[in-house]
Structure 1
Amino acid sequence: MSRRQQTDGTLALEQKKVIVIEAAQRPEAQKLRVAAYCRVSSDSSDQMNSFAAQLNYYTTLINSKDNWTMTDIYADAGISGTSAEKRPDFQRLLGDCRRGRVDKILVKSISRFARNAVDCLKTIRALKAIGVGVCFEEQGIDTSEMTGELLTAMFSAIAQKESESISGNMRWSYQHRMKSGKFITCKAPFGYHLKNGMLEVYEPEAEIVRMIFDQYLAGQSKDEIAAHVTTLGIPTRDGKEYWQHSSISYILRNERYVGDALLQKRYTTDTLPYKKKMNHGEREQYYMPQSHPPIIDRETFNAVRELLDKRSFTMPRHERDPLALKITCGICGTPFKRKVCNQKTYWVCRKHYKDKTNCLMEQIAEEEIHTAFLRIYHKLRLHGEPILKQMISDLQSIRERRMLWSMDIIELNKRISDINDQDRMLADMNKCGLVDPDIFISRSNDLAHQLRAAKLEKERILGADHDDTIPRTRELMETLETLPEFLPAFDGEILTDLVDGITADSGNILRFRLKNGLELTERVERSVR
């Protein structure tokens, strides 16, 4: 190539023009959607004033920034910070973040956000992954900055240590009061109310307790009694509308109803996340006779105890065998029956048992069913919690989408909009000096509480449904928490508490249907026949 050709090529390149396409909307022109989260640790009047003050403070702060726009103020009052699941507005905040409605969250301090270091970092990382930063004012930390998460780890660990110290002091206090006979319970059993630390008989529920004892002595089964109490529309102690076999069993064996108290049946673990566990000898227990007024006389209570023990041995096999009437043939739908052959127990389809040509289902050894349940149990104890939590989350999302355009939700949205309009008008009047400061504070606090109540009502409706799968799943999770982490041998009572039914899809595959309707499949390890 000649010098002239090289020169012409260079000139041609120099003469090329680049056309710059302007951004339709520059990032700096976009306003940050900012939310605030407030929490106070008690329901006292002073704390509630602090709660209202936080609402007013964040409203003013966010509205004062030109490049900020207020998304919402989220607040939980009088709820512990050690568990995020017990804070409804915190969960509402996370839901709005996942829906893309929030860019930044303002919080006074890390201890207001979470006292559990693991949960705190997990939440912050999840928010950061979807582009939401958390700003902790007291510590001067913004998690959207590079060093924010490192600092958060340090401060959240300090907050967790503080929470563990407080919890440890409370446990020591409970232990000391148990030993001295001054502690009764933190939560009254069904039939009682707790007043000034003492149990008092609550007659409307006490009548139900007496009826349960009388019906059992009259020969009714626990399942029959549970079904009868459910039809009366009487909720359990925990507010559940369905009574179960285990609910009746707990009442019939509870020494509280004769006026005695066995303390520390359950205990709380020492480290976060705190979990309630049944006390199988890991902690001391304390028995206090005649600690409170009885509902049942001791003679009746002892008679029921004797009958409970007697029925466990003399009742028909279909009532006392945990596998009886639980196993169904997956081919013909017929219940299985128990049979003993060569001193070994089997379960077999009734049609197959009468004539092998009626159903091709093979018999299954009882020990193989026990082993399959043990594997299911250990899987649930190890991995069940996240699966069940995800199941609840998915069900709630489905219901929310289905109910979003219901008339109740539309009316609540109108009410929320109206309260926001009143709040803005009140703020404008206050700026112009048209309203007395005391009246402004009082009215502002009232509107804040109305707004929070409307939003919580909206969440309640979105979460409500006639389907009881969610409450049954929560109940299943609570049951799992009380059971031992390792089960060395088959336990019929535990199977009854967890499993509604078993379907034998074949001689090698069993399908366990849990109390919440979830089905888990387990392969049977066939032994030599």
Structure 2
Amino acid sequence: MEQTVQRERKIRIIPATKPVSTSGRASGSKQRVAAYCRVSTGSEEQLTSYTAQKAYFTQKIGENPDWEMAGIFADKGITGTSMKKRTEFKRMIAACKRGRIDLILTKSLSRFARNTVDSLEMVRMLRANGIGVIFEKENINTLTESSEFLITLFSGFAQAESESISKNVIWGIQKSREAGNVPFQYKKLLGYRRGPDGQPEIIPEEAETVKRIFRRYLDGCSLGQIKAELEKDKVPTSCGVQSWTYQVIHNILVNEKYIGDTLLQKTYTTDCISKTVKKNQGERPMVYVENNHPPIIPKEIFYQVREEMARRASKRKVMQKTGKTEQGKYSAKYALSELLVCGECGTPYKRCTWARNGKKRIVWRCVSRLEFGTKFCHNSPTLDEDKLHRAILEAINGLDQTGQEITE
């Protein structure tokens, strides 16, 4: 048998030959250093700070022989609680992911982000790629071991400060509205402009467009028909374009500003971090200011439009065995739509096209008769559209000939 040879186990340590770089890049070559600047408002003081930050970092990076400029990224008039609109910040992060930046300089944590979650997420992502961030005010380098605790602490302070400021601003706005101070967005409001005294005044040409929209709606026109008429006549919107949408027309019809009143706090922002805007359905107090400015539309016309909207919205087709069937959703396609009702069962009439022996005949028929035959409605007549039109025309001419007395 062979004897087992015992071998002596040896451990040898190989010493490091290069120092660890705190910037995440090996020593021996210049670091590509970028700077991030941000101011949250467009005030003169903030813009001065914005310019000073850019000049300071440009000089600092240029004076260091171990650094080379990788860019100055600066967001102006942008909040730090969200990443959504910070285009320069996102461009800087994209450059980091492409390996074009080794180190980022910034004034303070609040300039980098006022959202604790965003701060930690970005710092961790950059550190995983060997990229450090130096916050000068707090004296933090994110590549050091204790940096995450300090970032969490200082970011929490910055977020709490933003939340406190947000609450103070909301309180101020609420008190201002309770005092009857009404903000006007003239660029989006057809018919009004800021007058010499700072108060709203009516623009006569645009006011005629507003009156036309209300009038045509009460005439029975649908939003689509009003849209087509306005575009055909090349009537401009409040933005000066000649392309209308259903939503714009609807918003005009329900806007209480056209009767001289204003409802405040229609929407609210949930919090200063997500900045989600929701429709106020009783979650926040609302303020209604009457007779705030000159009206374009009489109140009786405005409320007639509201009633007509409710009537049209309530029309839903009901297939029941009662014999009385609603017409369905509102239609303004034909001149007699919504105007003819069966005298026997009270069901609306519907326009139909009958074809027989290659000939077409346009008639109006009780919807109940069309769906159920004579089960519920027995004697409703079928009316030829041509005869109906002639009868209506004769009635209008006859009324015109009787003079003003009967009209009154």
TM-score (norm 2): 0.63
1:185 aligned partner: 183
For the aligned residue pairs, the C-alpha RMSD in angstroms reads: 3.7
| Contact 1:135 1:142 survives alignment (8 Å) | yes
2:342 aligned partner: none
1:311 aligned partner: 312
1:290 aligned partner: 291
**Aligned-residue offset at 1:115:** 1.5
After superposition, the Cα gap between the structure-2 partners of 1:203 and 1:92, relative to the gap in structure 1 and judged at 3 Å, is farther
| Contact 2:315 2:328 survives alignment (8 Å) | no
**Aligned-residue offset at 1:208:** 5.0
1:263 aligned partner: 264
Counterpart Cα distance in 1 of 2:145 and 2:75: 29
**Aligned-residue offset at 1:76:** 1.8
Counterpart Cα distance in 1 of 2:298 and 2:98: 57
| Contact 2:37 2:73 survives alignment (8 Å) | yes
1:111 aligns with 2:110: yes
1:48 aligned partner: 47
Counterpart Cα distance in 1 of 2:193 and 2:131: 45
3-state SS of paired residue (1:165): helix
Unaligned runs of 5+ in 2: 9-24, 318-326, 332-408
1:385-412 C-alpha deviation (Å, 9 max, x unpaired): xxxxxxxxxxxxxxxxxxxxxxxxxxxx
The letter of the residue matching 1:78 is G
**Aligned-residue offset at 1:62:** 0.9
Give the alignment of 1:86-125 within 5 angstroms.
86-125=85-124
Counterpart Cα distance in 2 of 1:242 and 1:161: 45
Counterpart Cα distance in 2 of 1:164 and 1:312: 41
After superposition, the Cα gap between the structure-2 partners of 1:116 and 1:45, relative to the gap in structure 1 and judged at 3 Å, is same
3-state SS of paired residue (1:277): strand
**Aligned-residue offset at 1:70:** 1.1
| Contact 1:236 1:242 survives alignment (8 Å) | no
1:167 aligned partner: 166
Counterpart Cα distance in 2 of 1:291 and 1:126: 53
3-state SS of paired residue (1:36): strand
Give the alignment of 1:404-419 within 5 angstroms.
none
3-state SS of paired residue (1:293): coil
TM-score (norm 1): 0.49
After superposition, the Cα gap between the structure-2 partners of 1:243 and 1:124, relative to the gap in structure 1 and judged at 3 Å, is farther
**Aligned-residue offset at 1:35:** 1.3
3-state SS of paired residue (1:29): coil
| Contact 1:185 1:197 survives alignment (8 Å) | no
Counterpart Cα distance in 2 of 1:105 and 1:204: 56
Give the alignment of 1:4-23 within 5 angstroms.
none
| Contact 1:184 1:197 survives alignment (8 Å) | no
The letter of the residue matching 2:306 is R
After superposition, the Cα gap between the structure-2 partners of 1:210 and 1:66, relative to the gap in structure 1 and judged at 3 Å, is farther
The letter of the residue matching 1:249 is H
| Contact 2:82 2:273 survives alignment (8 Å) | no
Counterpart Cα distance in 1 of 2:34 and 2:213: 51
Counterpart Cα distance in 2 of 1:299 and 1:170: 37
Counterpart Cα distance in 2 of 1:174 and 1:289: 19
**Aligned-residue offset at 1:45:** 2.8
Counterpart Cα distance in 2 of 1:241 and 1:165: 44
**Aligned-residue offset at 1:260:** 0.7
1:31 aligned partner: 30
Percent of aligned pairs sharing the same letter: 43
Larger helix percent: 1
3-state SS of paired residue (2:34): strand
1:57 aligned partner: 56
1:272 aligns with 2:270: no
2:301 aligned partner: 300
Counterpart Cα distance in 2 of 1:145 and 1:241: 60
3-state SS of paired residue (2:314): helix
**Aligned-residue offset at 1:233:** 9.6
After superposition, the Cα gap between the structure-2 partners of 1:265 and 1:197, relative to the gap in structure 1 and judged at 3 Å, is farther
After superposition, the Cα gap between the structure-2 partners of 1:159 and 1:235, relative to the gap in structure 1 and judged at 3 Å, is farther
2:69 aligned partner: 70
The letter of the residue matching 2:314 is F
After superposition, the Cα gap between the structure-2 partners of 1:77 and 1:301, relative to the gap in structure 1 and judged at 3 Å, is same
After superposition, the Cα gap between the structure-2 partners of 1:28 and 1:194, relative to the gap in structure 1 and judged at 3 Å, is farther
Counterpart Cα distance in 1 of 2:143 and 2:231: 52
1:463-486 C-alpha deviation (Å, 9 max, x unpaired): xxxxxxxxxxxxxxxxxxxxxxxx
3-state SS of paired residue (2:84): helix
After superposition, the Cα gap between the structure-2 partners of 1:155 and 1:202, relative to the gap in structure 1 and judged at 3 Å, is farther
Counterpart Cα distance in 2 of 1:120 and 1:311: 51
Between 221-230 and 47-56, the greater mean CA deviation after superposition: 221-230
1:154 aligned partner: 153
The letter of the residue matching 2:262 is A
After superposition, the Cα gap between the structure-2 partners of 1:99 and 1:299, relative to the gap in structure 1 and judged at 3 Å, is farther
The letter of the residue matching 2:122 is T
2:395 aligned partner: none
1:221 aligns with 2:219: no
**Aligned-residue offset at 1:206:** 5.2
1:417 aligned partner: none
| Contact 2:37 2:74 survives alignment (8 Å) | yes
| Contact 1:37 1:90 survives alignment (8 Å) | yes
2:248 aligned partner: 247
| Contact 2:81 2:114 survives alignment (8 Å) | yes
2:389 aligned partner: none
**Aligned-residue offset at 1:135:** 1.6
After superposition, the Cα gap between the structure-2 partners of 1:235 and 1:151, relative to the gap in structure 1 and judged at 3 Å, is farther
Counterpart Cα distance in 1 of 2:224 and 2:118: 40
**Aligned-residue offset at 1:230:** 7.5
Give the alignment of 1:440-519 within 5 angstroms.
none
1:83-139 C-alpha deviation (Å, 9 max, x unpaired): 222233223223323333222221111111222222222232333333332221111
| Contact 1:259 1:295 survives alignment (8 Å) | yes
Counterpart Cα distance in 2 of 1:199 and 1:320: 36
| Contact 1:35 1:73 survives alignment (8 Å) | yes
1:422-448 C-alpha deviation (Å, 9 max, x unpaired): xxxxxxxxxxxxxxxxxxxxxxxxxxx
Counterpart Cα distance in 2 of 1:98 and 1:228: 53
The letter of the residue matching 1:277 is K
**Aligned-residue offset at 1:169:** 0.6
